[in-house]
Amino acid sequence: MVLPQGLSAVQVKVSLPIPAATAHIAEGFDNSTLYGPSDFGLKVLTPVAQDTLMGLGISLFRARVVDGEGVASKYNGVLEATMFKLGVEYLGIELFTDYQLVLELTVDFPTGGPGRVEDANGDEVSSATSVSGSGYYASTAIRWGHLEGGFLKKQSLELRRNDDSGKRSEQRNFPQLHQLRNCPFLPFLMSKVLVDHLYHHHLELLQQESQGQFDFFPVDFRTQDSRIENHLPEALAIIGRVDPSEAQYQSAKELALIQTLSAGFEEVDLERAQRFSVQVANNNGANAVSVAEHVLLQILSLFRQLLFHHQSVSQGPWENRKMRNREISGKTLGLIGLGQIGKMVAKYAVSLGMNVQYFDVVRQQTSEQELGLDYVFPETLLRTSDVVSYHVPITSYNRGIINRNSISMMKPDAVLINSARGELQNEEDLHLALVQGIISGAALDVFQQEPIAEDSPLRKLENVILTPHSAPSRESYPRAVRHAVANLFRLQNNEPLLGLALDHEVRARTFQNQHPEVDLMIPNE
């Protein structure tokens, strides 16, 4: 059924289905019969989207059921939510298929006098109301005018049955809601995905990329947002760099994924997420090209003295004879960290004739062979590199690693690049090193505090390039969104996720235990 745009409608329909359409009521009991098609249904159709209808109705049936508790007449109520219709019409005759979500209720009806339900021996049994089944129906029917008849009905029901002791027991083997929503007979059920404040401006793009298959709800985990409490129990995933509390994890029964659109995920407590069987994933290198290009721009700008030459033209005096420029070809680039961004930086640098060496707590010999990289420990890298560029997540082993001691190991004409995390650097030590000429220059895209303080002494230096955490580009965000949506579909299809977060703290600890002679922290003396 399709509604014209903007049309609201409520339709009430009374129908008398043929007996075959109600035969499912008795299924699941040992020996059952029905009292004919004394059946009525009331459906109220109301728009739930711009061009779809949802039907909600209830049908009552009187049945004689024989099971382990005896003989009784029962009223069976079926609450049906018709969520999806597919059909064709020709010359007023419509052939269609309904997909219905069903909740079946059973009410015992007295057979031995008012208020009394008897078993086969005439003994009284207790009267009860219970849920006898739930699941979905897929029915095919033909309609002509006001006449309607069903001739094919498929179902998947969970019914109360008798166990070996003769007692009534409820069979429970329901899949998680996000798995049920992926059932081919329930294409209309959309999984909830919460989107934290950092990514609210991507909501429209998320909807477009998911083609309406998920419901995205903007929330703000920084505040006491009531929408979190309302939606979290049914949320399949959270898109954001958030760390749910213990109580929030306990209420999030369906939560299976925390997905970031960035490379970093250090805000998330991975151990706690693992305890609640929640996976954590990053953008799987969606911004690797953008950040790598930015790093090469920073290196070239420092080596070619781009800011100095710009000012000599824009502000004067004209200076083109001081020959302050340097080539990067033949120079040595040292990478601290060889993730997806580090690898892309290495690829670009090699293509420009640079020699590249790296350190990572996990050695990557395949990349060494493919790109011609050398693996060295941190102190060797710092002492022998013309450019030192950082590409690591924050751990307890590297917080504040850019400090007086590590900078003093570098060559006097070397430059330092940090496009990873501001927490890696001690900005007071870095400022002092730049003023005293311990290194020749630096380029920073990240800071301990963002935005950087107006009175930061780094802003006054001529041998430092500062950018406002702007290494990602307009092309990288759609890639990150597409990756996030792809992971949502992978989750629904029970496929392995991409970009799963690695516990860098554990990896660093493992390396330190294996190489106690290597000082990862390089602390200030």
Name the residue type at position 168.
R
Last residue of a domain, one of 418, 449, 466: 466
Q: Does residue 17 sit in the same domain as residue 151?
A: yes
pLDDT, greater one: 509 or 85: 509
Q: Band of the pLDDT at 194, cuts 50, 70, 90?
A: very high
Residue 523 lies in a domain: no
Section 207-213 average pLDDT: 86
pLDDT, greater one: 10 or 337: 337
Q: Does residue 331 sit in the same domain as residue 278?
A: no
8 Å CB contact between 441 and 414: no
In this prediction, residue 522 carries a pLDDT of 56
What span, in angstroms and rounded, lies between the C-alpha atoms of 409 and 429? 13
Which of 159-173, 218-232, 305-319 is predicted least confidently?
159-173
What span, in angstroms and rounded, lies between the C-alpha atoms of 69 and 32? 13
The number of folded domains in the chain is 3
| Residues in contact with 36: Cβ distance below 8 Å, sequence separation at least 6, in sequence order | 19
Q: Does residue 251 sit in the same domain as residue 384?
A: no
Name the residue type at position 229.
E
Which of 37-41, 234-238, 441-445, 453-457 is predicted least confidently?
37-41
Work out whether the CA dihedral 503, 505, 509, 515 comes out positive or negative.
Answer: positive
What span, in angstroms and rounded, lies between the C-alpha atoms of 58 and 80? 6
Tokens of 261: 């659109």
Q: Band of the pLDDT at 460, cuts 50, 70, 90?
A: very high
What span, in angstroms and rounded, lies between the C-alpha atoms of 340 and 392? 10
8 Å CB contact between 55 and 188: no
What span, in angstroms and rounded, lies between the C-alpha atoms of 276 and 265? 17
pLDDT, greater one: 494 or 50: 494
User: What's the mean pLDDT when you consider all of the chain?
Assistant: 74
Residue 507 lies in a domain: no
Contacts by residues 366-371 (CB-CB < 8 Å, ≥ 24 positions apart): 367/338, 367/343, 371/343, 371/346, 371/347
Section 229-256 average pLDDT: 92
The most confident of 212-216, 252-256, 300-304, 520-524, by mean pLDDT: 300-304
DSSP tag of 166: S
pLDDT, greater one: 169 or 257: 257
Q: Does residue 313 sit in the same domain as residue 454?
A: yes
Section 248-268 average pLDDT: 91
The CA angle 154-158-163, to the nearest 5 degrees, is 130
Residue 5 has pLDDT above 50, yes or no: no
Residue 86 has pLDDT above 80, yes or no: no
Residue 479 lies in a domain: yes
Q: Does residue 396 sit in the same domain as residue 482?
A: no
Residue 244: asked if its preceding bond is cis (omega within 30°), the reply is no
Residue 6 has pLDDT above 70, yes or no: no
8 Å CB contact between 408 and 359: no
Residue 54 has pLDDT above 50, yes or no: no
Section 139-155 average pLDDT: 58
80 is catalytic: no
Section 116-135 average pLDDT: 46
SS3 372: coil
Contacts by residues 125-131 (CB-CB < 8 Å, ≥ 24 positions apart): 125/69, 125/70, 125/72, 129/105, 130/105, 130/106, 130/160, 130/168, 131/103, 131/104, 131/105, 131/106, 131/160, 131/170
Q: Band of the pLDDT at 98, cuts 50, 70, 90?
A: low
C-alpha pair distances (Å), 55 with each of 89, 99, 518: 20, 10, 67
Name the residue type at position 114.
P
Residue 466 has pLDDT above 80, yes or no: yes
**Each residue of 129-139: pLDDT tens digit?**
444 445 555 66
8 Å CB contact between 247 and 269: no
Section 360-385 average pLDDT: 96
Residue 176 has pLDDT above 90, yes or no: no
In this prediction, residue 312 carries a pLDDT of 87
Residue 284 has pLDDT above 70, yes or no: yes
Instruction: Give the predicted TM-score (pTM) of the model.
Output: 0.64
Last residue of a domain, one of 152, 174, 196: 174
Report the chain's terminal Cα–Cα distance, integer Å: 75
Which of 139-153, 198-212, 493-507 is predicted least confidently?
139-153
In this prediction, residue 125 carries a pLDDT of 45
| Burial zone of 169 (CB within 10 Å; 0-12 exposed, 13-18 middle, 19+ buried) | exposed
8 Å CB contact between 261 and 247: no
Section 255-264 average pLDDT: 92
SS3 349: helix
CATH number for the domain that contains residue 194: 3.40.50.720
What span, in angstroms and rounded, lies between the C-alpha atoms of 60 and 34? 12
Section 271-298 average pLDDT: 94
C-alpha pair distances (Å), 118 with each of 9, 72, 109, 131, 326: 47, 7, 10, 21, 99
In this prediction, residue 163 carries a pLDDT of 35
The kind and range of the H/E element at 439 are: none
In this prediction, residue 31 carries a pLDDT of 35
Q: Does residue 320 sit in the same domain as residue 226?
A: no
450 is catalytic: yes
Select which of 89, 229, 450, 475 is catalytic: 450
pLDDT, greater one: 425 or 50: 425
Select which of 24, 294, 421, 431 is catalytic: 421
Tokens of 379: 């102190």
Residue 45 lies in a domain: yes
In this prediction, residue 369 carries a pLDDT of 96
In this prediction, residue 93 carries a pLDDT of 74
pLDDT, greater one: 392 or 73: 392
Q: Does residue 270 sit in the same domain as residue 165?
A: no
Q: Does residue 81 sit in the same domain as residue 227?
A: no
8 Å CB contact between 336 and 375: no
Q: Which of 444, 487, 447 is nearest to 467 (CA)?
A: 444
Q: Does residue 220 sit in the same domain as residue 277?
A: yes
Q: Percent of the chain at pLDDT above 70?
A: 63
Q: Does residue 155 sit in the same domain as residue 269?
A: no
C-alpha pair distances (Å), 273 with each of 112, 160, 362: 57, 35, 23
In this prediction, residue 89 carries a pLDDT of 65
Section 420-436 average pLDDT: 96
Residue 2 lies in a domain: no
Select which of 469, 490, 507, 509 is catalytic: 469
What span, in angstroms and rounded, lies between the C-alpha atoms of 525 and 512? 20
In this prediction, residue 521 carries a pLDDT of 64
Residue 344 lies in a domain: yes
Q: What share of the chain is helix, strand, coil (3-state, %, to 5)?
A: 30, 30, 40
Name the region of 315 (left: φ>0; alpha: ψ -120 to 50; beta: rest). Answer: alpha
8 Å CB contact between 259 and 209: no
Q: Does residue 278 sit in the same domain as residue 324?
A: no
C-alpha pair distances (Å), 66 with each of 34, 63, 78, 445: 11, 10, 19, 75
Section 401-420 average pLDDT: 97
Domain that holds residue 113: 11-174
Section 244-249 average pLDDT: 94
In this prediction, residue 372 carries a pLDDT of 97
Last residue of a domain, one of 174, 190, 220: 174
Section 82-99 average pLDDT: 63
In this prediction, residue 274 carries a pLDDT of 92
Residue 479 has pLDDT above 90, yes or no: yes
User: How many CB atoms sit inside 10 A of residue 186's CB?
Assistant: 18
Phi, psi of 198 (to 5 degrees): -60, -25
Q: Does residue 69 sit in the same domain as residue 126?
A: yes
